[in-house]
Structure 1
Amino acid sequence: MIEFCESLERYVRRATDPVRVGCTVIGGENPVAVQSMTNTDTLDTEGCVAQIGRIVEAGGPVVRLTAPGRREGENLRAIRDALEVQGLWPGRVALVADIHFTPEVAMIAAGYVDKVRINPGNYNDEDGGKLRALIARCRERGVALRIGVNHGSLSPRMVDRWGDTPRGMVESAMEMLRTCRAEGFADVVVSMKSSNVRVMVHAYRMLAAAMRAEGMRYPLHLGVTEAGDGADGRVKSAVGIGALLADGLGDTIRVSLTEPPENEIPVALELTGYFAERAGHEPVEPIEDASSYSPCEYRRRETDPVGRVGGANVPLLYGELDGEELSAVSDGRIVLLESGNRNPVADWRARILNLSARGDRRPVILRRRYRESSLLRLQVRAAADFGPLFIDGLADGILIENDGGAASPEELRELALGILQAARVRMSKTEYIACPGCGRTLYDLQKTLAAIRSRTSHLKGLKIGVMGCIVNGPGEMADADYGYVGSGRGRVTLYKGREVVRRAIPQEEALDALVDLIREGGDWTEPER
């Protein structure tokens, strides 16, 4: 097993060197910082300033803005100056420029903001001169750098060598990190984002191990990109981010929701607050043999099925068990594993790995009881607790109980199914891979996602990408079966998988055209009346 964290049995934060980003310090002994991103046009100074103010008031001290071109890059100065007049910058908010395509714009933005996020896929020059020039510019002003790797936008060179894989993501990041270290530039944060939670978790763990092997202590920025909205977006984010925070990985997080950006902050604060309580948790059973654990690739624990539980069967909800399966729980042929430990991930994982080490092939159903009166808190905590065990293939069933009145039986059922779907072990509903929107977005994402959901939510197991612009689509929705991508003002391009099917059609026709495309692909069923 690769060494990606300090301990599988104790909650210990990964040791990192602190990086100052304006008024916020990321990494070191500092609490995990939360952040968000504007979805206003970066040329709209007034709109950006107002939205940044709402994010700060919600509790987000770091805000990112897109700068797709020179004009947007230059306008970051006007936004910064307006925030300074209002007393928000530099003391209450750190500004980050998001540069996806153009290294030239990164150089401009570095003159005005506290951190610049770049995509390694756009720094492909053989001698690394573009990156070194940006490092020099950042060093000059005390600006931090985020190396932001996205699963769907690796360089052709990396894809040719490693494929569209977590390994390719890690190699892409490590190549740039080695250049930063060679230049003596330490103000670097790294991210490894994907809309596929399993890919995202594996990539971060693999990166942490690679940095550990080379003595690198750069902080990690965590996030599940294109998580969607509502309960699904919150659960999906909590499963992915929680799986990493549980093992001490992560120094700053962003929960990406297709909603007003200030809505992301309460979810992020719930997550960071939950893990802040974890230090000094009750002892966990020592792991006898961890050789069966595969943290960087999905491998289902081998069990002997009992009825529909275990073996190759999809994980079940406890309420779905029939009489014989319930009897098997009662007599111990199926293990009902409850945890009251403040570190349930480590507790469950150790006990299950020890079962395997002893040759015990009984299926395992996880059980945990909460006492939450807040539905959001219940969603976040349950997703962060149960999700990692299913990402790792260690469990065969799930039982969430709550005594605090936060959720009805149906809401508990939907929460459990959402956790299993986020972990990619059981698809029970339509999944929307929807970006949160930014200044590049070419249509009303929230309204459009709601309209698409109203027509397609009955298509269980189908994955539909809803992307605001060509930057996020098709790359970031590479996992989707169908895609709806903004390709111009009032224009939408439709995809089947990664293939363009209809290009630049009027938006008023696009939803009907998407439904027709799903019909033509043989994936349409009529909703039940």
Structure 2
Amino acid sequence: MLFTGEAKRSNLHMRRKTRQIHVGDVAVGGDAPIAVQSMTTTYTRDIESTVAQIYRLEEVGCEIVRVAVPEMEDALALGEIKKRIHIPLVADIHYNPELALEAVRQGVDKVRINPGNLLNGRKSLEQIVAAVKERGIAMRIGVNSGSIDALDQRAKMQRIQVRLREDGVLEKTDPAEARRKEREQLAERMVSKALEYISWCEELDFHEIAVSLKSSTVLTAVEAYRRFSQRSDYPIHLGITEAGTLVTGAVKSSVGLGLLLAEGIGDTLRVSLSAEPEEEIPVAFEILRSLELRNRGVTFVSCPSCGRVEIDVISVANEVEKRLAKVQTPIHVAVMGCVVNGPGESRDADVGLAGGKGKGVIFRKGQVIRTVPEDQFLDAVLKEVASLLPAREASLVYPEGGIKDVAGMHRTRDEGMNIPILKS
């Protein structure tokens, strides 16, 4: 699905040519926008909790959702979940092929399997392919580094060694070249396995396939995806698996996925975080917006604060960003407190705040709208943003009665700085 103001393909990026498949009503590959996915953390058999979490994911823009199906009780819950949600549903299957067959019967939009850990291997894969082919649904082949003896490989991988010589000098060895070769060998094994599994499907005349080659090591995943993209035109699902908590996971995902996306590799992605799944979606869209690959949601700019800042810009920025989390309309918002960059950045935004001691200027599409006191920053910014949004989103951002909360009242100077734009 395309959203208002969102182009199929950025002129700045030549995406790798892939065949297109469909996951429910979401196109993946070809000229379709790069789709953003997530995965629930609930027990899938707990239908109420799972549906509630998927609703929260839908609100922040998730386009495809995956659920774990470890046992038959979870598989049997999929039909009811599917009936109650509004985005495509993917069943994540390991080991037992009967779970995949039941998921298909329940009406999921895609199954995700790793053929390497299915009981009875190729025979089970052939059963699953027959089922998804009959129903006209897609399949993701997932090859994780951990599934092809990468744990042993990682243990053997050479590390930087440091030792103290008798003369008191620290001696360091960094076998970087050896580690690079080991990483390439692991990536090649991952790609070879993926291509082997694809060939099994092609022999059954099944081509509704997406492929993922994940690793928790960024450079291993990047190498595997690059190699696969040179040898196959099937759409690619990007991810750095087990990336970590909110900060470490966001950084690792941004580096790994950003490298690949900038090279035109990737048709759908998930940012994997040890956090609530709805926290993954803003990170994913921010990566795509930063590379001008998607234009959905809020492009948010705020200054990091320094000795020139005369307002509590951190408090204001955090509160504004939090309240805009569910906005999917493309809009550019700036919250600035700097005499040097504030007015310019605020003018460049659809809605901007340039704050100074005790007051701030509200900009709308480059024009000064009004000057507001510090205790009205939050209300003024969100009111202007809401005025540019569709009615449903506007009501989420700026409810009837306005914003009564106050943010940004925790930092002041004894005397204000000379900021011409803020003179009234």
Same fold (TM over 0.5): yes
Number of the residue aligned with 2:266: 250
Partner of 1:209: 230
Structure 2 CA distance for partners of 1:149 and 1:233, relative to 1, 3 Å:
same
1:448-505 per-position Cα deviation (integer Å, ceiling 9, x unaligned)? xxxxxxxxxxxxxxxxxxxxxxxxxxxxxxxxxxxxxxxxxxxxxxxxxxxxxxxxxx
Counterpart code for 2:210: V
Q: Determine the C-alpha separation between the residues in 1 that align with 2:141 and 2:279.
A: 25
Which residue number corresponds to residue 76 of structure 1?
Answer: 78
Q: Does 1:172 align with 2:193?
A: yes
**Aligned residue in 1 for 2:388:** none
Q: Is the 8 A contact 1:103 1:122 kept in 2?
A: no
Summarize deviations over 1:69-110 as a string: whole Å, max 9, x none: 1111111112223x1xxxx3xxx3000000122222111112
Alignment equivalent of 2:279, drawn from 263, 273, 280: 263
Residue 234 of structure 2, aligned match among 205, 211, 218: 218
Tell me, yes or no, if the aligned pair for 1:120 and 1:173 is still in contact at 8 Å. no
The residue that corresponds to 1:99 in the other structure is: 93
Deviations 1:378-412 (A, max 9, x none): xxxxxxxxxxxxxxxxxxxxxxxxx99699xxxxx
CA contact (8 A) 1:227 1:257 kept: yes
CA-CA distance at 1:230 after TM superposition = 2.5
Deviations 1:124-153 (A, max 9, x none): 747x22212111100111111000111101
Q: Write the distance in 1 (CA, Å) between the matches of 2:209 and 2:199.
A: 11
User: 1:196 aligns to what?
Assistant: 217
**Could you tell me the TM-score, scaled by structure 2's length?**
0.58
Query: Matches of 2:62 and 2:104 in 1, distance apart?
Result: 21
> What is the identity, as a one-letter code, of the residue corresponding to 1:73?
A
Say whether the 8 Å CA contact 1:120–1:155 is kept in structure 2: no
Quote the residue 1:56 is aligned against. 58
| TM-aligned CA deviation for residue 220 of structure 1 | 0.3
For 2:274, what is the secondary structure of its paired residue? coil
Alignment of 1:151-170 (within 5 A): 151-154=145-148, 165-170=186-191
What is the CA deviation profile of residues 307-361 of structure 1, one whole-angstrom value per residue up to 9, with x for unaligned ones? xxxxxxxxxxxxxxxxxxxxxxxxxxxxxxxxxxxxxxxxxxxxxxxxxxxxxxx
Provide the rounded CA distance (Å) in 1 between the counterparts of 2:135 and 2:240: 30
Distance (Å, rounded) in 2 between the aligned partners of 1:210 and 1:373: 42
Is contact 2:34–2:294 with CA below 8 Å preserved after alignment? no
**Equivalent residue, structure 2, for 1:65:** 67
1:373 lines up with 2:394 in the alignment? no
Q: Which residue, out of 119, 135, 141, partners 2:114?
A: 119
Corresponding residue number in structure 2 for 1:231 = 247
Tell me the secondary structure at the aligned position of residue 193 of structure 1: coil
Amino acid at match of 1:36: S
Amino acid at match of 1:269: F
Q: TM-score, normalised by structure 1?
A: 0.47
Corresponding residue of 1:326: none
Identity rate, percent: 44
2:272 partner SS: coil
Q: CA deviation at 1:155?
A: 7.0
> Aligned-pair distance for 1:372?
4.1
- The one-letter code sitting in structure 2 at the alignment partner of 1:249 is I
Of residues 131, 135, 138, the one that matches 2:132 is 138
Could you tell me which runs of 5 or more consecutive residues in structure 1 were left unpaired when the two chains were aligned.
Answer: 1-9, 212-216, 280-370, 376-402, 408-529
SS at match of 1:276: coil
Judged with a 3 Å threshold, the aligned counterparts in structure 2 of structure 1 residues 374 and 273 are, in CA distance, closer, same or farther, namely farther
Secondary structure of 1:11 counterpart = coil
Shift in CA distance, 21/278, structure 1 to aligned 2, threshold 3 Å: closer
Report the Cα offset of residue 206 of structure 1.
Answer: 1.2
CA distance in 1, matches of 2:95, 2:120: 14
Q: How does 1:324-473 map to 2 (within 5 A)?
A: 372-373=301-302
Q: After the TM superposition, which residues 18-37 of structure 1 pair with which residues of structure 2 at under 5 Å, given as runs? A: 18-37=20-39
Whether the aligned pair in 2 keeps the contact of 1:36 and 1:60 (CA below 8 Å) is yes
What secondary structure, in the 3-state scheme, does the structure 1 residue paired with 2:51 have?
helix
Contact kept, 8 Å, 2:94 with 2:118, in 1: the verdict is no
After superposition, the Cα gap between the structure-2 partners of 1:232 and 1:155, relative to the gap in structure 1 and judged at 3 Å, is closer
The 2-side partners of 1:18 and 1:270 are apart by 24
Change (3 A) 1:278 1:137: closer
Following the alignment from structure 1 to structure 2, what is the Cα–Cα distance between the partners of residues 148 and 115?
13
SS at match of 2:42: coil
1:109 counterpart = 2:93: no
Q: State whether residues 372 and 406 of structure 1, in contact with CA within 8 Å, keep that contact through their aligned partners in structure 2.
A: no
For 2:70 and 2:119, the matched residues in 1 are separated by 18
Rounded to whole Å, the distance in 2 between the matches of 1:184 and 1:19 is 14
CA-based RMSD of the aligned residues comes to: 2.9
Large movers: runs of 4+ above 4 Å: 403-407
* Structure 1 residue 172: Cα displacement: 1.2
CA contact (8 A) 2:95 2:119 kept: no
CA 1:374–1:208: 2 relative to 1, 3 Å: farther
Structure 1 residue 277 displacement after superposition: 5.2
User: Residues 52 and 404 of structure 1: is their aligned pair in 2 closer, same or farther, counting only changes over 3 Å?
Assistant: closer
- Residues 139-173 of structure 1: CA deviation (Å, up to 9, x unaligned): 111111000111101279x99xx998111111111
Partner SS, residue 219 of structure 1: coil
